[in-house]
Amino acid sequence: MPALKSSALRITAWTAVVLMVLVGGVWWAWSAYAAAQQPLQRDRNAFVGSNTCLSCHADHHASWKRTYHRTMTQEASGTSVQGQFDGKVVNAWGVPVRPVHRDGKYLFEYLDPSTQAVKATVEVARTVGSHRYQQYLSKDADGRYARMHLIWHIGDQRWVHYNGAFLYDDHQGFNQHAAVWNPNCIFCHNTGVNPNITNEDALLKRALAGERFNYLNAAHWDSEVAELGIACESCHGAGGTHAQANRNPLRRYALHFSGAGDATITNPKRLTPQRSAEVCGQCHGQRTPAKLEMASEWLRSGPSYRAGDVLAEHVSLVQPDTPVPAGDPDLFRLRFWKDGTPRLSAYEMQGLLQSDCYTRGGATCIGCHEAHGGTPTGMITEDNRTGASCIGCHKDAAALPAHAAHAKASPTTNCVDCHMPKMVYGVMEIHRTHRIRAPAPLAAASNKQPDACTTCHGNRSGQWAADAVSAWRRGAVAATATASIPENLRQLFEGDPVQRAVAAKLAGSDKSALTNAERAAQLPLLFAAMEDGYPAVRRFAQQSARVSADRLALPQLAKALQGFDFIGAGTARATALQAIRSAAPATKTASDALGGLLNADGSANAALLSSLRAQADTTAINIGE
């Protein structure tokens, strides 16, 4: 009996222990879960860097690492520098520059134009950009990172003086677009920004004493960033609190199994459409500080916005009527089309805010773009490039009469071609507008802006396009051609710099509705556009001519076009154009005179082109890049 009693006592004791462990475990788990629900005081400035995220989020880290966001700003090195520092001299705007790689350093040697002797040697400290073109920064003793004069165009595989990237004419100074990185590019191209101006008080005293000086050039900096490039914490907020809290595995499991959001980090997918779009809009929406007094704070410690905040509490998005504190009063107005639609890149947020898809449908950036998916170019899937994301709301769109008729006429055309046409200039390219709306050819023409119809149907007028759309909507036969000047070609010669640039680029688009014969007829007009006074327009006209030469299988013309340098000296360009015209096929009688732009023999009507050019707006447009 005593033995049995002892055994029973042992069982009871072990049972009690097990129950205590179970109860303790449940209590511990419940405590962890309860703790996970408690709001933590998140440190808005505790940036820890993407490597901290890697240990738990390896897949997201890997998908981010292959994006151009990651490589937006880098220290100059053999893996980051893409330009050819091969010792070949680049001549542009009066000063020869020789990019060289010596002793592990990347250098620009500035030469005397007369003797070719080296006048100055400047080392590349950092790179900006890795997709379309790459800029180079030097650093001086005052901590100032300055943009250097040559940029490497990655698609064209050539050096370009930065004057060629802007919407100004040939009469630019060698240093005209000099810029300082610390109070400008640093904000959007990096993570956890701290410009840290160090002599602000001294500069203020000089200004109050009436001294006139260039504030940004006189400023000294000790700038820091949590991470070069656009990293995890740009879109998710500072991660220090999150990393610390989630060292507790029970907290992680509790959050995982509950499906609840984690208040220590921002997930754009869990935000409202407006807050989610603003995460992208902090950079993809040109802005100024919400209050004037915040400007000083930006220069000292950087913008105050963090992912998930209400953007309007920190910034004011630039609009056509945004006041300009100093300088050209039309600075911001010229960055928009006449109806208020943005026409430069980095204004995507402003375009989205003007769209019914956003204001009525709740569309947001990540409905189309995927920060961790799609291709690095645009961070978008191939399906979404052609409008797959539109079908979620517009399920019956294909059945609409206008859509059905257009699909038969050109099966490759899709939602974004018509509702988000290419009409935006930036980084030496033409991009899609982010103001989503139905085509309105006549309204666009009256506003002196491109439209989806006539940039695709480049040999047709705005009236023709309006009649065609109206007829399709009624289920009637499409309109016939008119004798009017085609709208895209009118804008190519009569427009302002953005109009001319867009028209020149889209004249040779792969998706153009032009037949081969119509492309060939347009070539003399593209050659004429290569005489434009704006380098950007010349470049796009040359590109379109090359696309058409390849499409028409004209190898001699394609070769001659390669000899044209859009930023070369005027005499050299004229000689190259002579060779290009000689290499073009003999002109034939024009079956379509394109509203009088072509003579009977198919050559360009110089008198009419001169008349159109006399009406062109030649105002230079500061694109803010």
| pLDDT at position 256 | 86
CA proximity to 470, closest of 439, 448, 492: 439
* DSSP code at position 68: T
Predicted structure pTM score: 0.92
* pLDDT single digits (tens) 226-280: 999 999 999 999 999 999 999 999 888 888 898 888 999 999 999 999 999 999 9
* pLDDT single digits (tens) 135-156: 999 999 999 999 999 999 999 9
Cα–Cα dist 97/90, whole Å:
5
| pLDDT at position 13 | 41
CA proximity to 188, closest of 379, 345, 368, 381: 345
Which residues, including other chains, have CB under 8 Å from residue 17's CB and lie 6 or more apart?
none
| pLDDT at position 400 | 77
The token pair that represents 91 in the structure block: 């001549």
Strand partners, 431: 424
> Counting beta carbons within 10 angstroms of the beta carbon of residue 545, is it exposed (0 to 12), middle (13 to 18) or buried (19 or more)?
buried
Cα–Cα dist 396/144, whole Å:
56
Residue with tokens 């803010």: 624
> Counting beta carbons within 10 angstroms of the beta carbon of residue 524, is it exposed (0 to 12), middle (13 to 18) or buried (19 or more)?
buried
Which residues, including other chains, have CB under 8 Å from residue 259's CB and lie 6 or more apart?
none
Cα–Cα dist 316/291, whole Å:
8
Cα–Cα dist 522/108, whole Å:
41
The token pair that represents 21 in the structure block: 């462990």
E strands in 490-536: none
Secondary structure of 348-412 as H, E, C letters: HHHHHHCCHHHHCCCCCHHHCECCCCCECCCCECHHHHCCHHHCCCCCCHHHCHHHHHHHHHCCC
**Cβ 20 vs Cβ 28: under 8 Å:** no
Cα–Cα dist 414/167, whole Å:
30
Cα–Cα dist 525/609, whole Å:
9
**Cβ 565 vs Cβ 543: under 8 Å:** no
CA proximity to 63, closest of 284, 374, 281: 374
**Cβ 498 vs Cβ 343: under 8 Å:** yes
Rounded alpha-carbon distances, angstroms, from residue 225 to 49, 72, 185, 192, 228: 10, 13, 12, 5, 6
Domain positions in the chain are 73-218, 266-438, 439-625
Which residues, including other chains, have CB under 8 Å from residue 11's CB and lie 6 or more apart?
none
CA proximity to 459, closest of 613, 598, 274: 598
CA proximity to 219, closest of 173, 184, 175: 184
pLDDT < 70 regions, the chain: 1-39, 407-411, 475-483, 589-591
CA proximity to 104, closest of 87, 121, 123, 117: 123
**Cβ 532 vs Cβ 610: under 8 Å:** no
Task: Decide: helix, strand or coil at residue 143.
Answer: coil
